[in-house]
Structure 1
Amino acid sequence: MGNNAVWKKGKKLKRNMKIEKFYKSTTGFAPYQYQLKVAELLLSGENVILTVPTGAGKTWASVIPFLYAQQTGKLEFPQKMIYSLPLRTLTNSIYSDVTKVLKENEAFEGAASIHTGEYKNDQHFENDIIFSTIDQSLSNFLCFPLSLSKRQANVNAGAMVGSYLVFDEFHLLDPKLSMATTIGMLKTLKNLCRFCIMTATLSEEYINNLKEAVNAEVVSINDFPDDAAIVNSLKVPEGRKAKKTVVVKDETINAQTILKRHMKKTIVICNRVEKAQQLYNDLISLTGFETLSGINHKNIICLHSRFFDEDRKKKEEDLKQLFGNKNGESAILISTQVIEAGMDISCDTMHVEISPINSFLQRAGRCARWEGEYGEIFVYDILELEEHEKLEIETANEEEEKQKKAINNKYLPYDKKLCEKTYAKLKDVSSLDKDISQQLVDEILTNQELADFTLIKQGNFNRSKMQQSWETCEKNMYSQTIRDIQSIEIAIIDTARETRDAFMPYKFQTIGLYKWSFIKWSKEILEQNEDVIFKAESNKDSQFIDWDTLDKEGFTLKPINDPYLLKNCYDTVFVDKSVFRYTSGAGLEMGAGNTCSPLKPYEKKEKETIEYRKDTFWQHNKAIIGCYEQEFKTNLQFAFKQLDKYWGESIDWDKLIKAMICLHDYGKLNAAWQKPMRELQILKGNYEPDEVLAHSDFNELTDKEIEKQSGAKNKPPHAGAGAFAFIESAEAIIDSTEYEDLANSVSTAILKHHGVETETYADFEITQVHYKEIERLLGEIDIKATLPQKARGGRLTDYVPQNNEEWVIYFLLVRILRLCDQKATMNLEKYLKISDHVFQIQSKKRNRNIFRHD
């Protein structure tokens, strides 16, 4: 072994020892060897696909490398982590678990946030650690963020650039939609991100295909036999032959069986909400229940998707207390697939309805999860649907017919053939371990997964649909790239107390129901009742709520008496409490009740007053540069190191960003823009001769008259002029043979720095006096370019990004520009001071370099 190889090996061992020590100080546990391998690969520049069984510690395997890089100041690793999960329940759980440990051990000094649509306090993904649902992560990258208006659609896509991206429970993503789009995003970002994909139940063949598609290293627990022997969720208790036994029953689950086999902790997982509700109601109504079982009714929890927010959160907290920390109380949980992945809970007895093998193994992962535990898993078939239970309704197309067949499938929401194959294979199994589990996955799923992968590969991982999303920024691309919407939001109301012609629809909390289940229910209800199911009639065409309408009244509450009409409903449907009931125990069910939907925690906000303080063109741009230096430049060191490789050519990215900033308000130098702003400022009484303004003192409540008098209300738009000027002068600004391609990204960032729908620039004419301001700014960053001082307005649609690379650079640039523009406008003094300080340091460095050269 050469000296260099010995040195590298020694350095690696030393780093592993440091990481091992950091692991223990952060989590309280020594790391497994596979966890150290994940950290070694990620910190050395590789991406990872991690495949380990449930309960083996994969969450910390992905989080610790980021924390370690943060603590050690490793700039070659991203400074932001976005941790994405497929379900809101999982996101809440992982966020709670990780942030609790970080707070207790003070292992992280940065800020962490959660982004699920329900929680969105960090709406621009600015914190260091973000836990997000995959819907939120992908919709932001695709420029139709679910929690932001279309005007802000391009702000968050750039958050993925230069970040560490974690995708947990990857196997739960829809193969043709969110899974394909995630792979497409990673292929598009290439080296501009670091990522870790984690799964417990994908076949080996699929993993191999995924590895090739995204160019990542696979870490499997099969390569670490010493770990497999000590992982708590795999370790066989002393005196037992297996950790978990499996018993397949030729019957269906019932309350008596659950009670009979209950030991201390029982988890029941059903495929359908209705079955879970039935078991829960049967269980708590059993005569002499408490005497027979020694369990309090409060320790029987029913959890599924049909609860209002407050009740769901309370149940999640309760089940963590009862099932998450070896609590000694006796407890029973009856649930659906909402808890089958990611939840760190355990039981000694489990009852499950049959589901495909990957789902079954996720469910089994909630049994005997802790050290020394032994568990029994009872697997049940599902009764055939009676003829009267099937949905019979006219369908108009192939997709609707497919959905109708799905609701009549007794294994809903799962594939019938996979369920039947899993049920047959499990009959030959008496116990579970990692080898048996992987063998079952490979035997049952390989063909299906390879067929899925072939289809998404043929579709180039949805990349054409991704580009369409970037171009249109329309939320209707959601169903083509992330999730096929087959649900209806339900609100329970007392229609006798509502004013039907002045109805305010979005004040109610709602519960999502599978559309065709609701149609089936409605068909039965409407045969006996009229005017009990309603829609709020408005002029909106979108299937997505426009939250700007929350403050607007005047919707009409219109009855729906034909269940066929519900096929086309994508918004909220309102049902009278006379036909739907809700209880905190069982959730939403069909039947008369007294509970209405609670109101959303929403207060009608007074319209924010638009107010600006005067700053000059030079001050404003210098403050934005200061904000960029402070808020972005350091945190983007990883991206800056990778950008040349990504673009294929060496570019002074720092200089390019500052040039973009200097030109973003070039249109404000237009005489037709400056004149009315100057007049307004004179009327305000705070104008210095020859000032070239970027903003004037202005309050929309008090200054409307002088705005009108000065002509400032009708001043021309300014964003497009800077985009046009950049295009015309790109060759002088960008030191690159591909300057025209890069100019597409920069000019589009300037063009759309106030909103994604800007496509044109107005006539402009810039006097020599005003032009000197841009010359001064560009001179300070060593750019000599002659910009057009006069032009007739026109369209810039030919200069938008043309390929993936141009789009990604645009995302990064427009994010920096928009956020810094906003921050600098709000806090001019802070960022102007930073800019002056940075400029002084850079000037001194330049002077020293000149002296040395001389």
Structure 2
Amino acid sequence: MSEIERRFRQVTGFTPYDFQKEAIEYLLDGYSLIVRAPTGAGKSEMVLIPFISELNESLPSQLIYSLPNRTLVESLGNRAKRYASFKKLRVAVHHGKRVESRLFEEDIIITTIDQTAGAYLSVPLSMPKKWGNIFVGGVASSMLVFDEVHTLHPEKGLLTSVAMSIESSKLGFPFVMMSATLPESFMEKVKKMAEKKGGKVNIISVDDENEIASRKARKIYLDTSPLYSKTSLTAEEVLKHLEDSKNLLIVVNTVSKAQKLYLDLKDKIDVPLLLLHSRFLEEDRQAKERTVLEIFGKKQREGILITTQVIEVGMDISSSKLLTEISPIDSLIQRAGRVARWGGEGEVIVYDVEKKPGKPYAPYSEELVEPTIQALKGVELLNWQAEVMLVDKVLSKPFENYLDPYKFYERLGGLVRAVYEGKRAYVEENVREAYSVEIALYENVEELKGEPEKAFALKRLRVDFRVLAGKFNYLQEIGAKIYRVEENPLIDEYESKYELVEVQSKEDIMPFEFYIISGISYSPEVGLLFDKSGEIKSFEFEEKEHLFKLELKELRRETWVEHSLKTLDFLRTYMLPRYAYPIKTFAKYFGISKKDLISWIELSVALHDLGKLNYYWQKAAGWQKGEEPIAHGFERIKKLPPHATVSAKALEPYLMEQFDEEGLFKAFYLAIAHHHSPWSSKYQKFKLIEDAQEYIFSIYPIPDDLILRKSPSGSFPFKLNIDDENEYYRLYGLVSKLLRISDRLATGGESYESIFSS
């Protein structure tokens, strides 16, 4: 038994399967992986254990593990913390409702795909945008893992994860992409795309499910007779099956169908009946999930669960019988994964849907459901071999089309737009097809009009904006009103920052907005209701979770030289050893020595505040001629001019001499210019104080003629493109991260541990 196998068994309690051992060997040899393995096969452990053992040695300094939803993040996060405790590594569980990572600096970050995408695009979703390039540095130099990728929108989230992965492997940072339902042709095509760019990629596909204990003793029978006889899933059908099974899982394709089926059944059965879908308030959904786990967990008891796609991933539950509406094959296989999950026999019964004109299988496309219906003919046993055959048969062509060069470059264009615009809505556009809106219910909207900011303290939930737009005419008929919480661009001391604007037509309902609705209702039992039948007409106010504020301690007076030396010391003591792997990897990729790359990083950090030697900055800070130039801890005389962009401009001649390659020049230049804001592009006029060269030389030996001593105001004539300059964009992110964290620690006089959430 190898050392890594021994560690695997020590940490997890079980011996790795053959496919896990093969995957680990490839990872430690520098390969990226595309993995197709059944649910419950231990894909997560296959990644986490080698990383915990080899970080900053054979593998990168950080791991960012992306999942499609919060439930999965919470579940895996708890396991990851237990595993990582063997080496006392830091693990953050990070999503919109649980913001544990302040700066994406932990060793392992378990998060959602949208949080990873936002970090990569310099638009962190749960932190101030001014910290964006620190987050770029985290994603740019980490080992990236994308799990359950089949659940991502194929032309948005899936392509975004493919683009990020390919660029990682090109530079020498391994990625892992995992799913139970990826077609072989798609895996091969992604592999070839990565290899064409210089990456090393291997495909791991489980051939025999008998290797996996939970699958070996599992037998799932498939009954498609209701599907082919055009039978719909109704309350009567449920009651028929209840005669021989008191533990039933029922999955339908829309929230409205789930609500109707629940209401049709609730007075006709004598076993617990549960309803779970996406339109519940957070606390109600969590309470329902706990009850679901009690009934459908390993200690099973009688009960019926009516649910939607929300059950397909993330909940470790099982039933002996599943009644499901037809859906695309990958979705259907995930639903079937909740049957006899821990072994034994189970049955999956597939029903037709009530078709509506235009989109008969809504919310799914006819192009995916019709081939699924054809492929299921004659399939009576749903084992791993059948699942692989069905996935390849139904999804090969669609998934190949998703990687069409036009669609791929269109997604790259979306990523570029998100970086340049810096808007969180554009991050969402690159991840999800469901353009959601936030909704809060409040009967007396007049109360809010005087203080519209109070609306943000209301509890709220999300729905697809098209659902709300589709209900608009009906809501008008029943007297309901919809208001958009809109930012007011004309602000003075007498006006609010926001106002409530009544929506006059369904065309005015746009994604990513926040709406207040009066005249409809909510039920903790049934969820959001587009009528008045629910008992709750107004949501409660709550204390909102705010973004982390990285407040610094009160600053003592500090000279420019003291601060520069202290920042450089933090870099050398903490950050350079911490990021040894990415520094070595970038140096190798760019064909430069590690020593040279470190010297350029040290230059950027040592002289990041050169702009504070600007005469106008020092005067505004209260400096007097003959005194040591100051950096912090002063009483400012007037508003301080920006200094970060001036630092870069003053160093421009020296940086131009250092770098033959334009991309390297831009990466370091912009890392210095952006050490307070990633979107800074202008500098004000400046002239350095008389003795500036003496102070600069005491920190870093730069010839006097390679420092620009004065300049009129201006703008930088360049940016870094995330598409065709991706390697430089990533290096810019790493240098920005090293610089800004070193600067923060030096400025606050704090320990490295202080930057982590307690």
Give TM-score scaled by structure 2 length: 0.90
Aligned to 2:500, the other structure's residue is in SS state strand
d(CA) in 1 for partners of 2:284, 2:88: 33
Map residues 476-491 of structure 1 onto 2, 5 A cutoff. 476-478=425-427, 480-484=429-433, 486-491=435-440
d(CA) in 1 for partners of 2:158, 2:545: 37
Which aligned segments of 4 or more residues in structure 1 are displaced greater than 6 angstroms? 603-610
Structure 1 residue 694 displacement after superposition: 0.9
Matched, 1:176 2:144: no
**Paired position in structure 2 for 1:625:** 568
Aligned to 2:88, the other structure's residue is in SS state coil
Q: If you compute each CA radius of gyration, which structure gives the higher value, 1 or 2?
A: 1
Matched, 1:232 2:216: no
Q: Deviations over 1:156-208 (max 9, x none)?
A: 11101221111001122222222222222223332342211001112111111
Map residues 591-606 of structure 1 onto 2, 5 A cutoff. 591-592=531-532, 593-595=534-536, 596-602=538-544
Matched, 1:317 2:290: yes
d(CA) in 1 for partners of 2:98, 2:315: 19
**Paired position in structure 1 for 2:423:** 474
**Paired position in structure 1 for 2:18:** 33
Q: Deviations over 1:120-152 (max 9, x none)?
A: 131321111111111110121112222233333
Aligned to 1:694, the other structure's residue is in SS state strand
Map residues 544-555 of structure 1 onto 2, 5 A cutoff. 555=498
Do the aligned partners of 2:469 and 2:507 also contact (CA within 8 Å) in 1?
no
d(CA) in 2 for partners of 1:378, 1:433: 15
Aligned to 1:612, the other structure's residue is in SS state coil
**Paired position in structure 2 for 1:452:** 402
CA 1:488–1:355: 2 relative to 1, 3 Å: same
CA 1:800–1:448: 2 relative to 1, 3 Å: closer
**Paired position in structure 2 for 1:273:** 255
**Paired position in structure 1 for 2:615:** 671
Aligned to 1:489, the other structure's residue is in SS state strand
**Paired position in structure 1 for 2:593:** 650
Q: Deviations over 1:681-725 (max 9, x none)?
A: x9xxxxxx7322111245xxxxxxxx4xxxx32343221222013
Greater fraction helix: 1
**Paired position in structure 1 for 2:451:** 502
332, 336, 344: which is aligned to 2:308?
336
d(CA) in 2 for partners of 1:631, 1:461: 40
Instruction: Write the letter of the residue equivalent to 2:539.
Output: S
Structure 1 residue 826 displacement after superposition: 0.9
Structure 1 residue 594 displacement after superposition: 3.3
d(CA) in 2 for partners of 1:606, 1:22: 36
Do the aligned partners of 1:350 and 1:378 also contact (CA within 8 Å) in 2?
yes
Q: Deviations over 1:303-361 (max 9, x none)?
A: 2110111112222333334333x113223222111121243222111111100111111
601, 625, 629: which is aligned to 1:692?
629
Q: Deviations over 1:615-639 (max 9, x none)?
A: 1112211221222234322221111
The runs of 5 or more residues in structure 2 that have no matched partner are 196-200, 753-758
**Paired position in structure 1 for 2:675:** 753
766, 784, 791: which is aligned to 2:710?
791
Structure 1 residue 676 displacement after superposition: 4.0
Map residues 74-93 of structure 1 onto 2, 5 A cutoff. 75-93=57-75
Q: Which moved more, 1:421-430 or 1:253-262?
A: 253-262
d(CA) in 2 for partners of 1:785, 1:58: 57
Map residues 41-60 of structure 1 onto 2, 5 A cutoff. 41-60=26-45
d(CA) in 2 for partners of 1:496, 1:677: 48
d(CA) in 1 for partners of 2:656, 2:530: 68
Aligned to 2:742, the other structure's residue is in SS state helix
d(CA) in 1 for partners of 2:434, 2:314: 23
Matched, 1:197 2:122: no
Matched, 1:127 2:68: no
Map residues 299-310 of structure 1 onto 2, 5 A cutoff. 300-310=273-283
d(CA) in 1 for partners of 2:726, 2:470: 44
Aligned to 1:591, the other structure's residue is in SS state coil
**Paired position in structure 1 for 2:330:** 358
Structure 1 residue 678 displacement after superposition: 4.1
Q: Identity, % of aligned pairs?
A: 29
Q: Deviations over 1:473-524 (max 9, x none)?
A: 3335335533345322211112267243433321112221122222232322
Do the aligned partners of 1:181 and 1:461 also contact (CA within 8 Å) in 2?
no
CA 1:634–1:252: 2 relative to 1, 3 Å: same
d(CA) in 1 for partners of 2:390, 2:333: 10
**Paired position in structure 2 for 1:151:** 130
CA 1:64–1:525: 2 relative to 1, 3 Å: same
d(CA) in 1 for partners of 2:171, 2:632: 39
Structure 1 residue 97 displacement after superposition: 4.2
**Paired position in structure 2 for 1:564:** 506
d(CA) in 2 for partners of 1:605, 1:212: 41
Instruction: Write the letter of the residue equivalent to 2:630.
Output: L
Matched, 1:440 2:390: yes
590, 607, 614: which is aligned to 2:530?
590
Q: Which moved more, 1:478-487 or 1:268-277?
A: 478-487
Do the aligned partners of 1:462 and 1:481 also contact (CA within 8 Å) in 2?
yes
194, 198, 204: which is aligned to 1:214?
194
CA 1:660–1:185: 2 relative to 1, 3 Å: same
RMSD of aligned residue pairs (Cα, Å): 2.9
Aligned to 1:274, the other structure's residue is in SS state helix
Instruction: Write the letter of the residue equivalent to 2:559.
Output: T
Matched, 1:374 2:345: yes
746, 749, 762: which is aligned to 2:684?
762
Structure 1 residue 414 displacement after superposition: 0.6
Q: Deviations over 1:655-677 (max 9, x none)?
A: 11110012211111123322343
**Paired position in structure 2 for 1:813:** 735
Do the aligned partners of 1:272 and 1:336 also contact (CA within 8 Å) in 2?
yes
CA 1:110–1:203: 2 relative to 1, 3 Å: same
Structure 1 residue 774 displacement after superposition: 1.2
Do the aligned partners of 2:650 and 2:709 also contact (CA within 8 Å) in 1?
no
Structure 1 residue 611 displacement after superposition: 4.5
The runs of 5 or more residues in structure 1 that have no matched partner are 1-15, 391-404, 542-547, 683-688, 699-706, 832-854
Do the aligned partners of 2:488 and 2:497 also contact (CA within 8 Å) in 1?
no
d(CA) in 1 for partners of 2:483, 2:439: 10
Map residues 237-276 of structure 1 onto 2, 5 A cutoff. 242-249=219-226, 250=229, 251-262=231-242, 263=245, 265-276=247-258
d(CA) in 1 for partners of 2:382, 2:22: 26
Matched, 1:384 2:355: yes
